[in-house]
């Protein structure tokens, strides 16, 4: 996950026609990640060896026995793209009664979260190093999730790259079908044009309803989502952060 610099330009939301046009290439092959180069440190390498057997779940095109994977039955929260896993680890600590299934393909980030899980004895996290779409479709199935977290996905600032953004109608339509009725979807971004696109996409999805009654539709930051170091620095400089919390109807 990348955290962008801010721009004073705040373009309006795309029209429905423009949105459909930008969604078209995305519909052909939805992916929740872009592979980025990165070198693992020695501690992250050791974490794969030492803690991988306990916290890593190999991808399989078969339904996951979630209760067996976590050793208990509890509400299941899917996190898509956890970066280096700092926020993920903190949320798991403050919500010990929930299970967190976390999808990330960036190997150094997976190693970093494995290290924290092992050293801090975070028993309610499991990691699948694979694309979240295939994990949802093949390992989880419809109406299987109590919540979904997607924090600070790559905003792809340039207009010609907007089609690469994760939060687009085909993805949200597919994702909503995996959330149980009453379950929630929590997005966060520090890039205002992307927040506006996110809001337009989520409002257009008939399976989702906004939990916020604010005029602009954005939610107050839930207590469980910690402020990252970058986010704290940005807020001190006057940069905004936008949270969106919608519920499956």
Give the residue numbers annotated as catalytic, written as ranges.
Answer: 154
DSSP letter for each residue of 107-141: HHHHHHHHHHHHHTT-TTEEEE-S-HHHIIIIII-
Q: Binding residue per annotation — 31?
A: no
Q: Binding residue per annotation — 119?
A: no
Q: Binding residue per annotation — 243?
A: no
* Token reading at 75: 């509400």
Q: Binding residue per annotation — 158?
A: yes
Q: Binding residue per annotation — 229?
A: yes
Hey, what long-range contacts does 26-32 have (CB within 8 A, 24 or more apart)? 26/163, 26/164, 26/168, 26/170, 26/171, 27/170, 30/133, 30/170, 30/171, 30/174, 31/131, 31/133, 32/80, 32/81, 32/103, 32/131, 32/132, 32/133, 32/166, 32/171
Q: Binding residue per annotation — 196?
A: no
Q: Binding residue per annotation — 246?
A: no
Q: Binding residue per annotation — 104?
A: yes
Q: Binding residue per annotation — 79?
A: yes
Question: Residues at the annotated binding site for S-adenosyl-L-methionine?
Answer: 79, 104, 131, 154
Question: Residues at the annotated binding site?
Answer: 79, 104, 131, 154, 158, 190, 228-231
Question: Residues at the annotated binding site for substrate?
Answer: 158, 190, 228-231
């Amino acid at each position: 996950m990348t955290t962008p610099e801010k721009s004073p330009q705040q373009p309006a939301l795309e029209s429905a026609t423009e949105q459909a046009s930008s969604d078209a290439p995305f519909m052909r092959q939805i992916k929740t990640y872009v592979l980025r180069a990165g070198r693992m440190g020695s501690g992250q390498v050791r974490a794969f060896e030492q803690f991988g057997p306990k916290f890593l779940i190999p991808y399989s095109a078969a339904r996951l026995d979630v209760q067996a994977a976590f050793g208990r039955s509890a509400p299941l929260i899917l996190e898509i793209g956890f970066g280096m896993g700092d926020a993920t680890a903190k949320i798991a600590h403050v919500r010990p009664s929930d299970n967190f299934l976390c999808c990330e393909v960036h190997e150094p980030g997976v190693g970093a979260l494995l290290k924290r899980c092992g050293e801090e004895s975070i028993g309610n996290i499991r990691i699948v190093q694979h694309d979240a779409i295939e994990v949802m479709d093949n390992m989880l199935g419809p109406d299987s999730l109590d919540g979904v977290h997607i924090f600070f996905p790559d905003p792809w600032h340039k207009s010609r790259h907007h089609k690469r953004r994760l939060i687009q109608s085909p993805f949200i339509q597919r994702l909503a079908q995996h959330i149980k009725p009453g379950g929630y979807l929590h997005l966060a971004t520090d890039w205002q044009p992307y927040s506006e696109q996110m809001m337009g996409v989520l409002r257009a999805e008939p399976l989702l309803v906004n939990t916020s009654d604010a005029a602009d539709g954005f939610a107050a930051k839930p207590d469980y989502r910690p402020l990252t170091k970058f986010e704290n620095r940005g807020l001190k400089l006057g940069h905004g952060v936008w949270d969106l919390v919608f519920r499956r109807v």
